[in-house]
Each structure stands twice: as structure tokens, then as C-alpha cells.
Amino acid sequence: SLKTLIPHTDGEKLSKAAILQQTAEYIFSLEQEKTRLLQQNTQLKRFIQEFSGSSPKRRRAEDKDEGIGSPDIWEDEKAEDLRREMIELRQQLDKERSVRMMLEEQVRSLEAHMYPEKLKVIAQQVQLQQQQEQVRLLHQEKLEREQQIRTQLLPSHAPLAPTHHPTVIVPAPPPSHHVTVVTMGPSSVINTVSTSRQNLDTIVQAIQHIEGTQEKQLQEEEQRRAVIVTPARACPEPSASDTASDTEGNDSDSMDQSKEEPSGDGELP
């Protein structure tokens, strides 16, 4: 049936997905046929049971009339029928399982033939998961053993040893800039006003003190300048006298020279 699905001509070419879809549809149709056949089998069994049940009743009635029949024979026949039904059901279930296994193997072979890489990846993932599970279980078993050994070695009254954890330096969080709004009562407002006034008074006094010191310094500088300027103005008078004396000295010198010159002239030949 699968060979009939594969195209024989060159013009007809089916993709891998189409072939898989057709195989899946074929498997689904087979399962539907199987369920239909099972239903038919159950119906036929019911008919057979009804037919076989009517005949023993008649026989039983006839045997009762004749006085020959016994209930033990009827129970034995019923038990044999149940055993036969159970055997048939088991055979059918075995057949269904075998057919299902064959179909699953065919589907797996087709998928492996068409998608080998995908199957490899899936197999690798399964192997990794199994390895991780094994490692985790081994680690848990190791921890449990260590705990048991510790509980056995340490006495009940002894304190537990401190666990040395590695110190991790965590940077401090940046300061959050926030404004705190405080609602003050009237007394606190008065206190703040008085303190602010005192602060203002002290500031004003300090400014006045600074200005007073500056004014004093300016006054002292002006006085010094005045003291320096006044003697400079008084000194021209003695300078005039000095010049007069100088002129008088010069005149006397010139007179002496004039007196000495005639005497010198007389001495010349």
C-alpha cells in the first residue's frame, strides 16, 4: 500500500512532508478499521452468547421436566464459555499490540530516514538530561551522607560549628535625594523665628563691626596723609632763608675775590 503512494512518473514528485502525511492518514484509517472490526466481533459474540444461552435454558427446562438435568453441568459449561472468551480477548489484544508496534516502528524508521539530524539532536538532549539527573542525584546522596556523618560524629550537647561563608563586599546604595516636609506647631515656629532674628542680629552686628573697623582704618589713613602733607607745605620757608644765606655767602665770596684781584694785579711786572 505504501508503494502505491509513491509516484512512479517523473512529473509527479512528492515531498517528504507529503509522504509522512499520507502514511499518517493510512495509519489512522487502519486504526479505524481495527475499531470497526472489534465492534463487529463484540456484536457477533453477543449474538452467539444469546443463541447459546437460549439453548441451555431450553435444555435445562427439558431436563427438569424429564428429571435428568443437574445444575453442576450448567455451571461447568458457563465457566468454559467465560474461559474461551477470555482467551479470545487476549489473542485479539496481542494481535493489536503487535500491529501497533509494527506501525510505530515503521513511523520511526520513516522519521529517522527523513529527519536524521533532528533525531540526533533529540537523542543528545535526552542524554544530557539523563546525565544532569544522575549528577544531581549523586550530589544529593553525597550531601545526605555528609550530614549523616556529621550528626553521628558531633555530640548532641556540642554547639554547631560556625559555617565560614565567603565575605562579599556589596557597594552601598547611592543616597536618595529627598526633601522632608516637617509640620511644626506654633511654639516651634516662634522658636525658629526668634533664632532667625538672633542670627540676623548677629550678622548685622558683624557687618557693622567690619564697617566700623574699615571706617577707622580709613580715618587713620587720612590722618596719616594729612600729617605727611602738612610738613611738606611748611618746608618752603626755611628753604627761602637757606637760599638767602646762600646768596649772602656767595656775595661775600665774590667780595673777597675782588679784593684779592687788585693785589694780584699790582704785583705783576
Establish how many alpha carbons lie within 13 A of residue 98's alpha carbon, considering only the half-sphere containing its beta carbon: 6
In terms of phi and psi (left: phi > 0; alpha: psi -120 to 50; beta: otherwise), the region of 132 is alpha
CB 69 within 8 A of CB 59: yes
SS3 149: helix
Range 213-233 average pLDDT = 72
Task: Give the pLDDT confidence score for residue 17 in this predicted structure.
Answer: 77
Residue bearing the bigger pLDDT, 42 or 189: 42
The per-residue pLDDT for range 186-218, each reduced to its tens digit, is 554 455 667 878 888 888 888 888 877 777 778
Residue found by looking up cell 600729617 in the block: 227
Q: Which residues have CB under 8 Å from 107's CB, separation 6+?
A: 23, 24, 27
Residue bearing the bigger pLDDT, 37 or 165: 37
Q: How confident is the model at residue 81 (pLDDT cuts 50, 70, 90)?
A: confident
Task: Give the pLDDT confidence score for residue 121 in this predicted structure.
Answer: 77
- Candidate ranges 133-137, 237-241, 263-267; pick with highest mean pLDDT: 133-137
Per this entry, what is the length of the chain? 269
Q: How far apart are CA 136 and CA 123, in angstroms?
A: 20
Establish how many alpha carbons lie within 13 A of residue 41's alpha carbon, considering only the half-sphere containing its beta carbon: 12
Q: Which residues have CB under 8 Å from 119's CB, separation 6+?
A: 111, 112
Task: Give the pLDDT confidence score for residue 205 in this predicted structure.
Answer: 84
The three cell numbers locating residue 55: 439453548
CB 74 within 8 A of CB 53: no
Domain layout of the chain by residue ranges: 2-124
State percent of the chain over pLDDT 90: 4
Angle between helices 186-234 and 236-267 (to 10 degrees): 20
Q: Which residues have CB under 8 Å from 60's CB, separation 6+?
A: 69, 74
Exposure letters 123-147 (e unless 16+ CB within 10 A, then b): eeeeeeeeeeeeeeeeeeeeeeeee
Mean pLDDT, the chain, integer: 70
Q: How confident is the model at residue 232 (pLDDT cuts 50, 70, 90)?
A: very low
76-80, 147-151, 237-241, range with the lowest pLDDT: 237-241
Residue bearing the bigger pLDDT, 182 or 106: 106
Q: Which residues have CB under 8 Å from 115's CB, separation 6+?
A: none
The per-residue pLDDT for range 137-187, each reduced to its tens digit, is 999 989 988 888 888 777 554 455 555 555 556 555 555 555 555 455 555
